C-alpha cells in the first residue's frame, strides 16, 4: 500500500505543472460563468449533526446580475 502511495505521489509531481494550468483555466471559466450565466441551485452546509440548505437564484439581464437567496 505504501508503494502505491509513492507511485501516486510521483505521478502527481510529474503532472503538477499541467494540472496547475488546467486547474487555473477551469477556475477562470467557472468564475466567468458564475458572473455571466443564469443558474438556480441549492447550497448545503453541514457540520456534525446540523445541516442547512439555501436556494440560490442568479439571473443576468443586459449585463446586470441579480441574486436571490432563500
Question: What is the model's pLDDT at position 34?
Answer: 81
Tens-digit pLDDT profile for residues 29-58: 888 888 888 989 998 999 999 999 999 999
| Strand-pair category, 50-61 with 64-69 | antiparallel
The per-residue pLDDT of the chain, averaged, comes to 81
CA–CA distances in Å: residue 41 to residues 20, 28, 31, 54, 65: 28, 20, 16, 8, 16
Question: What is the model's pLDDT at position 46?
Answer: 94
Reported pTM? 0.54
Amino acid at each position: 500500500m505504501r508503494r502505491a502511495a509513492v507511485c501516486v505521489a510521483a505521478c502527481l509531481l510529474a503532472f503538477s505543472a499541467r494540472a496547475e494550468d488546467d486547474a487555473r483555466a477551469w477556475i477562470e471559466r467557472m468564475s466567468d460563468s458564475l458572473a455571466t450565466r443564469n443558474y438556480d441551485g441549492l447550497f448545503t452546509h453541514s457540520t456534525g449533526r446540523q445541516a442547512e440548505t439555501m436556494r440560490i437564484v442568479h439571473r443576468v439581464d443586459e449585463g446586470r446580475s441579480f441574486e436571490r437567496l432563500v
